[in-house]
Structure 1
Amino acid sequence: MPRHSVYSCNAMLAGYAHLSLAAPAAEIFAAMPQRDLNSYNSAMLALAGGGEMRGSLVLYSELRHTSPSLGYTDHTFSALLVSCAGLMDRDLARQLHAHLSHLGFLSDIDIASSLVDVYRKCGCIADAHRLFDEMPVKDLCMWTSIVCGYAEDGQMSPARQIFDQMQKRSIISWNALMEGYVRHGQAAEALSIFKHLIKDGLQPDQSTFSSALSACAAIGSVTHGKQIHGMLLQTGFDPSVIVLSSLIDMYSKGGYLAGARQVFSLACQERRDTVLWNAMLSALCHHVHGQDTIGLFVQMIRERVKPDANTFLLVLTACCHCSLVDEGMNFFDLMTKRYRIVPREDHYVCVVDLISRSSRSCDEVVEWIRSSQFGSSKQAWETLVGKCAINGNTELMSKAEEHLAELGSPK
């Protein structure tokens, strides 16, 4: 690499930091014969933004111990805070808090606000709230972080209290409250928040609409869901795949499968990624349309959309609904051999359900389960016992109970 001045190297580092390109930034930094504080700050930020959080921390340690005369700026600690948030390391967050306090940088509202957000991302909402309370001045980001932290933790009462105290609210705080209510079984509250948001003249974004539709799905309200869908159409809002998936889910769980089909069929080809196909497969599976689920999966493969683990779980569930043993086993082989997807326990439970109905010998079935990844799983054997009881396969049920006993499980 040709020799460049510190100024030109710093310009390149700043560009890499802006683009979150860790590798070229590290290469430039390592080759610099001389470095100033801007060199360290930009390199740390590039590494942190590019996912090399530990590398960013190493550079800070080097700055402290080999070049202490260069000092620090708020940019130094901005990079450190990005690294700490990415690592989600509680102990590191607390050490950084003490360090910032010692150096007097917590008087910088941006640094303090970022630290509150780091605590939130580390799951330390109590630490975040203590720091929040200590700050004489609080910016919008700080308020929003506290609301998000409590909502993510399922503490909806303090989340709402903080939200109600906010003189100014970002759409992020509204969304956090709605998502929290939906996630923790208070869908009606989420819809109430959505109505207030619209009344206050705020513009909903993708997350807002997704949460509102998820709330409708949770309570099975197609009426409210259609109103929100109408709002999307009237405003010319361009829905993301997540919003389209939420629409499909809302219509499905509200008992209006035709609406779900229509949303899927009208989605442009570019939007039909794995997430959207899975949403439609889930809708069909939810309504126990096993053959249609399998047919849609075949269409998905023909259109060269790559299935994931959730796709195959839905297809295997459909095979269980239709008692399609051989087809289900073929799909399982397709998942593991062609797509190299490692089965989860719920995949094996579906397959166990299928093979309990098969014409295979008891020894074949038992050996298949024993040699699988979940051969020592009580759930797999308990599923087999339950399915055999339903199907009247007493011989296989007896063998399954023997293996349960070996695992120390009650029969």
Structure 2
Amino acid sequence: MSTRPFFRRDMVHPFGRGVGTSQRPEYMQGFMQLQCFCWARTPGRGRNGRFMEKGLPFMRKNGENQSPRIHGRIGLINMDWTLTSLSSHFDSRLDGIMRQAARHLLPDSDTSGMLEYLLSQKGKRIRPTLVLGTHLAFGGDGETALPLAAAVEMIHSASLIHDDIEDMDEFRRGQPSVWKRFGVRQALNLGDLLLPAGFFLFLESPVDAALRVRVLTRISRELMRLVEGQMTEIAGVNQEPSGWSDYRNACAGKTGALFRICLVCPAELCLSMDGNLSGAAEAAASLPLLDELGTQLGQLFQSRDDLIDITGRKEGRFALGDLLEGKLSLLIVLASERLTGAARREFFTMHQTSRPRKDEAMALRMRDILFAQGIVDHAHVLLARDIELFEARMRELHAPGLISLLEDLLRRLSLEPESEKQPPT
């Protein structure tokens, strides 16, 4: 198969269409130095999608690519479709994009130190990995989706900063949360900054303008649903739920919104792939199912999080926080549905008590009732059922790689004993 180099300074670059590198924003130029890819044109094929040659990390010399070229879709043809494998392949480049963007957006600001602190607290990065995996699964190259993946990580970080403030959680990922480290006002500022920064980052992606508008419209709509879900949850604090609707709406918004972005938006990026019409058609046909799966993932993650609150520890945060705060949760909805008599009166009297009158001893008593009355066991049954329903719908996808990635994600949803290590003081 004959190929010829396609990546030159005066031609198309993966992060700019028909614009030389000297005209790219500074942080994109930095990314190009971190990890560049040379593209190849195969006879009868377009330059996008799966027909690409990978260049190893290099610095350009005299305008020529000095790296050896390895044919294949960014070297992932034989990849293990797991979160760990995919994340390890892209992680350094994801970091590079976000750090270069931070230096570009905040060159002389004290806020850059806060952002560096946040980026150093790297989580599992499930969401950006799903973005990249979905793009690859429908025939994309993965690289085109990197700005979207970085934007999703920044938006997710913003939501966590605000969530920790609302819940007064002092620890995140085993370290002091941003508001605890820098104060509430500066944490609010950082969260507010990350949202438009994520949008700006995606605006610099190589996607054509019409598709960028389409994806940004979806992201904007989902972020409004995220906030709406959070508002629904807060409105239900210390309240006895009247049914399932508020809880499901909260899950679909505050947790499901980002998962819908992670699955639907990278598939939308595949709609304009040159030379891979079948992949684009499959991505288009899968959009409704991907949207549904994103909502279901939000429910699964939130239900698991609710259970962990009373069975273990949440990433370095103390257990029983949801019971202490009187949050709307899976356990509270089930308690409203299943508790009767004296146990019901005692439980909801404590649930409707606000802090500081509600202390840890009261939360422990509430947990004892949930265990004794079989509420926790039933919650486990419901979670297992919902996982099975998700798995059945997931297998309707015509994207084997994405199915494998989601299978790996489901394995992580299994409730294992949480670490008893105390958060640092």
Q: TM-score, normalised by structure 2?
A: 0.29
Larger Rg: 1
Higher RCO (CA < 8 A, seq sep 6+):
2
